[in-house]
Amino acid sequence: MTRATPFLMFQHGKAEAALDFYVETVPGSRIVAIERFGAEGPGPEGTILRAHVEIAGQPVMVHDSFIVHGFDFTPSWSFFVECADEAETERLFAALGEGGGVLMPLDNYGWSRRFGWVSDRFGVAWQVNLQ
């Protein structure tokens, strides 16, 4: 069966710190499996060659690129997280945005009672919405 899985590529060995942050911050997140670069490379030993994770129950693959690219994450692609209550919406918005940036402040935009959009400290964008 053909399947599409979101794939997050981090640079400068930041994948593991990002995964730890997501598992700690986003309910329903866990690391399923991690395969690391060995001493033979091609990436720095111990960095993530490939990780299978779940972020809010969504399967995602993660990689530490050993090639430094001239691009990084863009907010045109983001995680859209639906929260069951206002307290969780506020908590996730604050936690995910800490050290990153606010793209749209948490507010009532008419189509949602409580919605906000942030990029986290790793550059990944998150839309946080109260169901």
Query: What are the residue boundaries of the structural domains of the chain, listed by start?
Result: 7-65, 78-130
Residue 116: phi, psi to the nearest 5?
A: -150, 160
Lowest mean pLDDT among 21-25, 40-44, 101-105: 40-44
Q: What average pLDDT score do residues 72-100 get?
A: 97
Cα–Cα nearest to 51, from 41, 60, 40: 60
Please indicate whether the domains covering 7-65 and 78-130 agree at the CATH topology level: yes
Q: What average pLDDT score do residues 76-82 get?
A: 97
Residue 115: phi, psi to the nearest 5?
A: -145, 140
Question: What fold characterizes domain 78-130?
Answer: 3.30.720
Q: What is the pLDDT of residue 41?
A: 86
Q: What is the pLDDT of residue 1?
A: 83
**92: its two tokens:** 């996730």
Beta bridge partners of 64: 10
Handedness of CA 122, 127, 128, 131 (dihedral sign): negative
Q: What average pLDDT score do residues 60-83 get?
A: 96
For β-strands 78-83 and 125-130, DSSP reports them as: parallel
- Chain mean pLDDT for the chain: 97
Q: How confident is the model at residue 5 (pLDDT cuts 50, 70, 90)?
A: very high
For the chain, percent of residues with pLDDT exceeding 70? 100
Cα–Cα nearest to 27, from 76, 103, 79: 79
Its pTM stands at: 0.94
Residue 121 per-residue DSSP state: T
Q: What average pLDDT score do residues 90-96 get?
A: 98
Q: What average pLDDT score do residues 11-24 get?
A: 97
Cα–Cα nearest to 26, from 49, 47, 63, 53: 53
Q: Domain 7-65 is of which CATH architecture?
A: 2-Layer Sandwich (3.30)
